[in-house]
Structures are given as structure tokens and as C-alpha cells.
Amino acid sequence: GQQVMQIPQYQHVQEGEDFTTYCNSSTTLSNIQWYKQRPGGHPVFLIQLVKSGEVKKQKRLTFQFGEAKKNSSLHITATQTTDVGTYFCAGPSGSARQLTFGSGTQLTVLP
């Protein structure tokens, strides 16, 4: 079945440094979604990318969808303590009925 791999698993940064997490799928994706889970919380939807090569920005967050629609990245510029949490990518599988999540990247921001 489809696999969605995410790296790194953990990332510690100093406040103000940039952060990037990468997501790779074993199959071509029709779309990819990103979620954020704060410590002790539940995943919350951030964004969906659909088009090949698409780039979307949300303030300091930049999301990219690869040209081949098999990879994606989330980049955070100048991290803040409010960015702490685990970031997941997710892609459709099983005729798009399922949503398969990557293993997540846990971000720690040191003040």
C-alpha cells in the first residue's frame, strides 16, 4: 500500500531559526494536506495543496508540492515558541477514501 514518509522525526531549533520538514510518498498524490498537533492536543488542518509545483504561504509558513506530486515540504521562517508541535503531512490512498498520514516531525523551539 501507499507509504508516506516524513523527515526528520525530531527537530530542535533556537527561536528565530528556520525549520523545514519533508514528506515523500511512494505513489503520486492527487493532493496533500498538512496538519499541526500542539503538545497534548489533536491534529488541526493547516492547508491543502493540489497542483503540481504549487506553493502556498501562511504568514511565516511556506508549503510546497513537488512537480511530480510525490513530495511536499513545510518551511517555517524565523520560528517562534508558538510553532512548537508535531507537523504531519497526509495524502489520499485507497481510491482517495483513506487519508494516510506521515509519521510526523516534532518541532521543539528553544527560547
Partner 1 sequence: EAQVTQNPRYLITVTGKKLTVTCSQNMNHEYMSWYRQDPGLGLRQIYYSMNVEVTDKGDVPEGYKVSRKEKRNFPLILESPSPNQTSLYFCASRAGARSEQYFGPGTRLTVT
Question: Under 8 Å CB-to-CB from 89, ≥6 apart: which residues?
Answer: 4, 6, 21, 23, 32, 33, 34, 35, 72, 74, 101, 102
Within the chain, residue ranges assigned H as helices are: none
What does the per-residue mask of binding to partner 1 show for 64-93, with x meaning CB under 8 A? Answer: ------------------------x-x-x-
Percent of the chain as helix, strand, coil, to the nearest 5:
5, 55, 40
| Number of residues binding to partner 1, judged by CB under 8 A | 26
Applying the rule CB under 8 A, the residues between 37 and 66 that interact with partner 1 are 41-45, 48
Residue 102 binds partner 1 (CB under 8 A): yes
Smaller CB distance to partner 1: residue 3 or 80?
A: 3
Among 9, 28, 52, 58, binds partner 1 (CB under 8 A): 9
The 8-class DSSP code of residue 81 comes to: G
Copy the grid coordinates of residue 26. Answer: 511512494
Interacting residues with partner 1 (CB under 8 A): 1, 6, 9, 30-31, 33, 35, 41-45, 48, 88, 90, 92, 94, 96-104
